[in-house]
């Protein structure tokens, strides 16, 4: 299956948001918005769900904490107990700093790698950049007419009315 993707480039956040509203009103499906900085409120308009990174963070933290506590206990009480200044094998208070640091380390790494893998930000990835101006000062909207009956002429009118400086379209295969 394939779909026709329409791209439009705008010079300001306000124009992009206005165009986004009219696309929604016309029943177009919003595929993506690309911008040089995060635009507030665009998530809801484009139907982007909330990020689940906080869950990854919590899981990473819990794993880090448990691992640190278990490992310190196992090495110093079970595998090779060594008397250090007469302190008990299981010196829990002394294990707190390392347990804390590993909690932070695992939580932080889960967030970072969660972000990189979910957003496919990896060395060698090329991204879907169609116009280099979106990392400078332009805002791009990608929509498709999947469920909306809208003529080509109506599409052109829509872009012209919303002040797009550049438009293009291509056909994309979808799995």
Partner 1 sequence: MDDPHAFERVIDGDKTLTQVTHDVFSPLERRGTGRWWAGFLLAVSALLLGLIAVAYQVQTGIGTWGLNRTVGWAFDITNFVFWVGIGHAGTLISAVLLLFRQKWRTSINRAAEAMTIFAVMCAGVFPLIHMGRPWLAHWVFPYPNPRGPLWVNWRSPLLWDVFAIGTYFTISALFWYVGLIPDLATARDRANGMRKRILAFFSLGWDGSARTWSRHETACILLAALATPLVVSVHSVVSTDFATAVIPGWHATLFPPYFVIGAVFSGFAMVLTLMLVARKVMHFEDYITQRHIGAICKVLVFTGTIVGLAYLTEFFTAWYSASPYERFVMLNRVIGPTGWAFGIMFSCNVVVPQLLWFRRVRNSLVTVFILSLLVNVGMWFERFVIISTSLGRGFLPSAWASYTPTLIEIATLIGSFGLFFTLFLLFCRFVPMIAAAEIKTVIARRHANDDVAPEAAGAAARPEAPESSETTERRAA
Question: Where do contacts with partner 1 occur on this chain (CB under 8 A)?
Answer: 13, 32-39, 42-43, 46, 48, 50-51, 53-54, 57, 71-72, 75-76, 79-80, 82, 84-85, 87, 91, 94-95, 97-98, 100-102, 104-105, 107-109, 111-112, 114-116, 118-129, 132-137, 140
Q: Which of 123, 121, 115, 119 lies closest to 60 in space, CA to CA?
A: 115
52 close to 42: Cβ distance less than 8 angstroms: no
Q: How far is the CB of 136 from partner 1 (least distance, A)?
A: 5
- Say how far apart CA 107 and CA 67 lie, in whole Å: 12
For partner 1, the closer CB: 112 or 150: 112
For partner 1, the closer CB: 36 or 157: 36
- Is 3 strand, coil or helix? strand
Alpha helices, DSSP H only, in 74-91?
none
For partner 1, the closer CB: 82 or 149: 82
């Amino acid at each position: 299956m394939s779909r026709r993707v329409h791209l439009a480039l705008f010079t300001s956040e306000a124009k992009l948001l206005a165009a986004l509203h009219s696309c929604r009103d016309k029943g177009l499906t919003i595929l993506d918005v690309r911008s040089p900085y995060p635009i507030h409120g665009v998530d809801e308009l484009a139907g982007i769900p909330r990020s689940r990174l906080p869950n990854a963070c919590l899981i990473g933290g819990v794993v880090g904490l448990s691992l640190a506590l278990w490992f310190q206990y196992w090495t110093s009480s079970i595998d090779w107990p060594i008397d250090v200044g007469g302190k008990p094998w299981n010196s829990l208070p002394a294990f707190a700093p390392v347990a804390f640091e590993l909690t932070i380390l695992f939580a932080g790494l889960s967030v970072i790698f969660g972000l990189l893998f979910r957003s496919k930000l990896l060395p060698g990835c090329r991204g879907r950049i169609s116009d280099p101006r979106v990392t400078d000062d332009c805002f791009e909207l990608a929509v498709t007419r999947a469920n909306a009956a809208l003529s080509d002429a109506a599409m052109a009118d829509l872009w012209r009315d919303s002040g797009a400086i550049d438009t293009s379209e291509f056909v994309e295969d979808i799995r």
